[in-house]
Amino acid sequence: MRSAIAALLALLALGCAGSTKAVAATPRTPIAATVPRTETLTAEDIVSMVSVSDAAISPDGSMVAFVRRTPRSAMEGRGGSRSVIWMVPAKGGDPVRFTAPDRSSYSPRWSPDGRWLAFRSSRSGDAGAQIYRISPRGGEPERLTDVEGGVSHFEWSPEGKHIAFTAKKAKTKAEREADEAGRDWRLSDVKGTFRHLYVMKVGSEDAPEVVGSADHHVANFAWAPDGKRLVVQANERADVDAVMMYSRLFVAELGGGWAPLTKTEGKLGSLAWSPDGSRVAFLGAVDISDPTAGVLHVVDASGGVAKALTADYEGTGASIVWPNKGQILMLANEGTRTRLLGVDPDSGKRKAMLGQGPVCTRVHLDAKAKSVACVGSTGEHPGELFVAALGKSPRRLTDSNPWLAQKTLGKQEVVRWNAADGKEIEGVLIRPVGAEKGKAAPLAILPHGGPEGISLDNWGTRATYPAQLFANRGFAVLMPNYRGSQGRGVAFGKADHNDLGGKEFEDVLAGIAHLAAQGVVDADRVGMGGWSYGGYFSGLAATMHTKHFKAAMVGAAITNWVSFSGTTEIEHENSLVHWNLWPWENIELAWLRSPMAHIEGSKTATLVVHGENDTRVPPGQAMELYRGLRHFGVTTEIALYPREGHGLAERAHQLDFAERFVAFFETHVANAT
């Protein structure tokens, strides 16, 4: 592959805005430049932010392909963000747009020899997202697949001659005829998109071949170094609950069958082979009740009992790669930060592999495992591209929102306090913009979902969690990592079992008292608003704990554990790893921990929010709470967003919600009497 300089010159020479060719970016202000922060951050700013979401460093480490997600403008109508692939030299320089902005392109993957960059994109005439490849020198992309329903995930084989991918199982002729005739009834209570694993020879006109069992849904896979085998995460069912909780690992051979690899229980995550192909590493749960797939395991590739290497680690694994014989690299959430760790595959001994830098959500290594590309953010900016040599601190290469340097931001810091039982709890605090010393501010608590989610010391502001917007309006903001959160190990993650809404909520109450004792917040002006499990927390704030909260925003929330358990798509996941208890076994406890059980007597102004197409937490949960509170005369509003699932994707909805949320708290919290 040509040098970084020559490649960049070639990219610049090929500029063409209407096709998938490199286009030079406007020269940018140096990232290190300081600009006075004089402009107020707005909801419009938040929904317009561009962020880096994926990155792939070339095999020789000279170039980095990365994805920028750009929200649609107000003039473009409804729809989600668009993704565009860019290219930048690893040594730094102005990024160059590599794919056309009018079509989303994502998942950049370099061929092992660096001659091609493959990616997914849905273009005119495509039946879903297909795999394309293009020379890093530019030119027109070549479509490699034409798969009904599109490609979900793909990876080059180690020798670069094949590509494996997952795609929706094609309907048979009889199934298509039945659909056309209206015989499309379902004889099951669950839904799922059944996907096969396919392997295709690049450049061949032969149809891709199904690998492994045609009776299994494939959720994840990884190539063996010999290019003849793959480790596969699969299940006989394709519904969310089954894939999440009951998947198994297999080793599949090209042109042959497959065999179980090892016994696993519960959630599964990232997969990787040892360089010699003798062992397989995977992230997984320690048992069926473990809330995360965060423990690193290793097993012999021929099968056997897997060894858990990080079961005692007070952190949570997020992804892994196995670049050399003596070391597995694991990106992990640890407290409110992320760390890239080198883990000995025999002893489990760990050591840090990167110096201080941003909170990284994705990493990618070059072929010699000398350089790493990281998608990272801080309290001052959303996701950007960073590059580092292993052992060194990451260098930032992109500035996707240069205007953000002029916006006022609240000071962000990590705070810690002791819960009622002495357990240390931590969270991320944002102080109000222009905070006056000695003046207690109104407090907006924004709890994460899960409960096995996590609030990190990174850019946590987005449309559904407009943290810095609150700070700009004079609020202090607390994003707590109550017990049950990830980032503190298995024991902490299980610490809320059989006690949802119990001690974990008391953790947050202790945080309010801690900040009030320091004079940071006014304990008489507190609101809570979150989504999913964070919305459940907010429902409890509005009902069971109404005396502590002036207002609540209950987003996509469980409000009745009994009716939720019978209607959600995650009945097993919720009962096994959240409650560690089937509601039917103790229905009295399930009801008593439901916001609906405590609506009488509520004095908390409540904004109820839900997407009308939510299958994770059905909209009926919102209607139950809204109508119940309204019946008892509580100040209550509801906002239902058409077409939205478990969150908000459309720009108009995001903008409306962010403004509505903050305005509701300004009225009922900041101006409360």
- Residue 488 to residue 292: CA distance in whole angstroms: 11
Q: Tell me if 643 sits within 8 A of 631, measured CB to CB.
A: no
Q: What pLDDT, on the 0 to 100 scale, is given for residue 672?
A: 85
335-377: pLDDT as tens digits = 999 999 999 999 999 999 999 999 999 899 999 999 999 999 9
pLDDT range class, residue 438, cuts 50, 70, 90: confident
pLDDT range class, residue 188, cuts 50, 70, 90: confident
Q: For residue 385, is pLDDT > 80?
A: yes
Dig out the tokens for 510 from the structure: 């202790």
What is the pTM assigned to this prediction?
0.92
Residue 333 sits at the vertex; the CA angle it makes with 329 and 338, to the nearest 5 degrees, is: 75
Question: What are the extents of the domains in the chain?
Answer: 409-670
180 vs 342: which has the higher pLDDT: 342
Dig out the tokens for 93 from the structure: 């320089």
Q: For residue 29, is pLDDT > 70?
A: no
- Average pLDDT, whole number, for the chain? 92
- Residue 274 to residue 229: CA distance in whole angstroms: 13
Q: What pLDDT, on the 0 to 100 scale, is given for residue 76?
A: 80
436 vs 88: which has the higher pLDDT: 88
Q: For residue 10, is pLDDT > 50?
A: no
Q: What pLDDT, on the 0 to 100 scale, is given for residue 655?
A: 96
CA atoms within 13 A on the CB side of 655: 15
Please, where are the H alpha helices in 14-107? 43-47
170 vs 402: which has the higher pLDDT: 402
Which residues touch 30 (CB under 8 Å, ≥6 apart)? none
Please tell me what DSSP assigns to residue 404.
Answer: G
Which residues lie across from 373 on neighbouring strands?
364, 387
Residue 585 sits at the vertex; the CA angle it makes with 580 and 591, to the nearest 5 degrees, is: 85
Closest CA to 230 of 293, 158, 297: 158
300-310: pLDDT as tens digits = 999 999 999 99
Which residues touch 585 (CB under 8 Å, ≥6 apart)? none
CATH of domain 409-670: 3.40.50.1820
Q: For residue 323, is pLDDT > 70?
A: yes
Measured in degrees and rounded to the nearest 5, phi and psi for residue 179 equal -60, -45
Query: Average pLDDT of 545-550?
Result: 98
Dig out the tokens for 507 from the structure: 């953790």
Maximal CA-CA distance, the chain: 73
Q: Tell me if 399 sits within 8 A of 49, measured CB to CB.
A: no
Closest CA to 22 of 110, 124, 99: 99
561-571: pLDDT as tens digits = 999 999 999 99
Q: For residue 531, is pLDDT > 80?
A: yes
pLDDT range class, residue 78, cuts 50, 70, 90: confident
pLDDT range class, residue 7, cuts 50, 70, 90: very low
CA atoms within 13 A on the CB side of 279: 19
Dig out the tokens for 222 from the structure: 């990884």
231 vs 369: which has the higher pLDDT: 231
Query: Average pLDDT of 481-506?
Result: 96
Measured in degrees and rounded to the nearest 5, phi and psi for residue 442 equal -65, 150
Which residues touch 22 (CB under 8 Å, ≥6 apart)? 10, 11, 12, 14, 15, 87, 96, 97, 98, 138
255-313: pLDDT as tens digits = 888 999 999 999 999 999 999 999 999 999 999 999 999 999 999 999 999 999 999 99
496-520: pLDDT as tens digits = 999 999 999 999 999 999 999 999 9
- Residue 606 to residue 554: CA distance in whole angstroms: 7
